[in-house]
Amino acid sequence: GSASKGNYRHYMLKEIHEQPAVIAAALEGRLGDRSVLVESFGPQAESLFKQVRQIHIVACGTSYHAGMVARYWLERYTDVPVQVEVASEYRYRRVVVPEGTLFVTLSQSGETADTMAALRFAMQQDNYLGSLGICNVPGSSLVREADLSLMTQAGPEIGVASTKAFTTQLTALMLFTLALGRVRGMPEDEQATLVEELRRLPSLCSEVLGLDRPIEAMSTAFAEKHHALFLGRGAHFPIAQEGALKLKEISYIHAEAYPAGELKHGPLALVDSEMPVISVAPNDELLDKLKSNLQEVKARGGVLYVFADENVGLSEADGITVLHLPHIHEALAPILYTLPLQLLSYHVAVLKGTDVDQPRNLAKSVTVE
């Protein structure tokens, strides 16, 4: 009912604004002084994590995007090779499972049919060490069936478009990265830095949510458009994918995401003044590359909207709108940069008058195939 929406017009907006609190909840009790508490993943986690030589991550939709981000983190910080796949593909093919592979699955609901079928399929294969389920619903099928589980602590998510479930999944996946890193000899100072940065994350998120008004103003440029292109590099490519999915789901605007470096291999042909381009450009080592991609868009008359680190030398010009986000450690930037994309989709959908919390044709939890 409307009472539980509080002062918010939609559940989605309420859930977007809950993110600082639920990210803090996802961290609660799981951080030591300078490292992650491995036992947060269960009493057998340490012995299991020690044997991990390979990881397969399988999920659907937004949960799949979270898995995609985790691949960048896990390979960067734990040296473990990672594969990520959507559940509906994974479960219908022959999968080669090297010895020592951990199966990781993510689901907000813990009841998604393809995800559950993938978990059951995986557990019938040889060579998997076991399974880890990252989930938001206690007592769900996923939590009951996975060997290890970690709850995301986002609280009930009512809006069909996933928001706080995603950022708490990412938080949980960073905890997993640090827990696995810890048992596999990740340098202690690197662990300590990321733990410290995680503690600052909720307040940085609150700061970014303060950009609601300028993002609302930006949304007017999208309401009449039929297409949009989202660009990102590295771990921000899956964030661009998630931004595109949100826009499609609730505003019904066709949106695609590309790794920025792929632009000139095709999608650049689509760019004109009718196709806004949204880019997430935090201050990482790929920034210079991204800047030249953005020039390519501008040179074709494309209209650009860039979310960038406050320290990035990008400024407003003709055809380019820049919104600055507070500086954050590059590893955690994918979590922070998700927020403005959620707000953008939300405001575009409100302008278009769609049913934000119950978009057409979609169900909150896809429990049938």
Binding site for ligand AGP (CB under 6 A): 60-63, 107-109, 112, 115, 160-162, 249, 365-366
Determine how β-strand 277-281 pairs with β-strand 101-107.
unpaired
Using CA atoms, how far apart are residues 290 and 11, in angstroms rounded to an integer?
Answer: 34
- In the complex with ligand AGP, the residue whose CB is nearer, 35 or 365, is 365
- Smallest gap from Cβ 25 to ligand AGP, in A, equals 18
- In the complex with ligand AGP, the residue whose CB is nearer, 108 or 191, is 108
Using CA atoms, how far apart are residues 160 and 152, in angstroms rounded to an integer?
Answer: 17
The residue to which tokens 């300078």 are assigned: 34
Q: What 3-state class would DSSP assign to 278?
A: strand
In sequence order, the β-bridge partners of residue 304 are 277, 320
Q: Closest-CB residue for ligand AGP?
A: 61
- Smallest gap from Cβ 363 to ligand AGP, in A, equals 8
- In the complex with ligand AGP, the residue whose CB is nearer, 77 or 337, is 337
- Smallest gap from Cβ 146 to ligand AGP, in A, equals 13
- In the complex with ligand AGP, the residue whose CB is nearer, 115 or 219, is 115
Is the CB of residue 110 less than 8 Å from the CB of residue 141?
yes
Using CA atoms, how far apart are residues 222 and 305, in angstroms rounded to an integer?
Answer: 11
- In the complex with ligand AGP, the residue whose CB is nearer, 111 or 296, is 111
- Smallest gap from Cβ 339 to ligand AGP, in A, equals 15
- Smallest gap from Cβ 348 to ligand AGP, in A, equals 15
- In the complex with ligand AGP, the residue whose CB is nearer, 118 or 303, is 118
- Smallest gap from Cβ 187 to ligand AGP, in A, equals 33
Label residues 213-229 b or e (16+ Cβ within 10 Å = b). eebbebbeebeebeebb
Is the CB of residue 326 less than 8 Å from the CB of residue 315?
no
- In the complex with ligand AGP, the residue whose CB is nearer, 40 or 62, is 62
> Measuring CA to CA, which residue among 222, 212, 177, 220 is closest to residue 197?
177
Using CA atoms, how far apart are residues 22 and 157, in angstroms rounded to an integer?
Answer: 11
Q: What 3-state class would DSSP assign to 128?
A: strand
- Smallest gap from Cβ 356 to ligand AGP, in A, equals 12
